[in-house]
Amino acid sequence: MPSPACSEPPDGLVAATAPLVGPDPGADPVPWTAVWAEEDGAEDVLVWSGPADRASRALLVRARPVPALRLSSTLMDHHVHGGTGVDAATADPDAVVRWLRSLRSAGVGRTLASLPALGPEALAEALERLRGPWERGLLAGAHLEGPFLSPARAGAHAPEVLCPPDSAAGRRIQAVIDAVRGAGDPTPVVTHLFNAMRPFHHRDPGPLPALLAAARQGRARLELIADGVHVADEVLAELLEDPGLAPRILLVSAAVAATGARARRGGRAPPGRR
């Protein structure tokens, strides 16, 4: 369905017409037109969206055309720690909003702010800072990477805050989580499959076979960092070609604060979380 045009379209209109890519990769793309308003220092506003043959001529003549190869709905990043110099674990709400708007301008419309392993007090404070952007509908929620991790595979996480769930600190962490837990999809999500996991061996398979089986049975979703570094392209292709796994895979960035930040002092980027 086309979106209705604003009664008084603002100035600074931009229009793009291109095939619309939908969720079904086998469907023929539909010629689509989108018109939006660019506003300095604010989020772009969608003015009209719909089939190209139904676009208002009066609206299009006011808009600056821009080339586009494809149009699609916005993406969702299920695992992202920050960007443009903003760390989701430590930034104030206004900085988080600026970061989320930068993501939206890049086509990422829904975001889960990922937090590293934190102690109970630090976790509660971080979640409280994210409450405002979440209540405004700018943030889909939070994703916690810890602290229930093995110290042997701490990676970038602070080893001193890692703990088992049944410890005193673990129970305090669980209380914090229970206090903010939403009513969304309860399906477990496997954080960045393969990375920081015990590797597969034919005599010691580790967690991978059980995780893949759970995904095929619809009992889990699998994150994959599809950058060609964290997971080889050949492995990614093999998983995406598996009809039992492909619908259960979440392609994530796991981006950190330095992503998209402007370089300073001799080309050095501002420090991120890692």
- Cα–Cα distance list, 159 to 90, 146, 163, 172, 191 (Å): 18, 11, 9, 17, 18
**Torsion (CA) 252, 258, 262, 265 in degrees, nearest 10:** -160
Domains of the chain by residue range: 13-71, 75-252
Q: Are 20 and 47 in contact (CB under 8 A)?
A: no
- Interatomic CA distance for residues 233 and 112, integer angstroms: 25
At residue 272, the pLDDT reads 44
Q: Are 84 and 98 in contact (CB under 8 A)?
A: yes
Q: What is the pLDDT along the chain (274 residues), one digit of tens a residue?
A: 444 444 444 567 888 888 887 666 567 778 888 887 876 555 567 788 888 888 888 888 888 888 877 777 778 899 999 999 999 999 999 999 999 988 887 788 889 999 999 988 899 999 999 999 998 888 989 999 988 888 888 888 889 989 888 888 889 888 888 877 765 667 889 999 999 888 899 999 999 999 999 999 999 999 999 988 999 999 999 999 999 999 999 999 999 998 888 766 555 554 543 3
At residue 129, the pLDDT reads 93
Q: How many CB atoms lie within 10 A of CB 132?
A: 15
Q: Are 273 and 257 in contact (CB under 8 A)?
A: yes
At residue 253, the pLDDT reads 93
At residue 241, the pLDDT reads 93
- Interatomic CA distance for residues 254 and 117, integer angstroms: 14
Phi and psi, residue 189, nearest 5°:
-120, 130
For the chain, first and last CA: distance in Å? 44
- Interatomic CA distance for residues 3 and 13, integer angstroms: 16
At residue 7, the pLDDT reads 44
Q: Two tokens at 90?
A: 């430590």
The answer as to CATH 3.40.50.720 being correct for domain 75-252 is no
Beta-strand ranges (E) seen in 176-264 are: 189-190, 221-225, 249-252
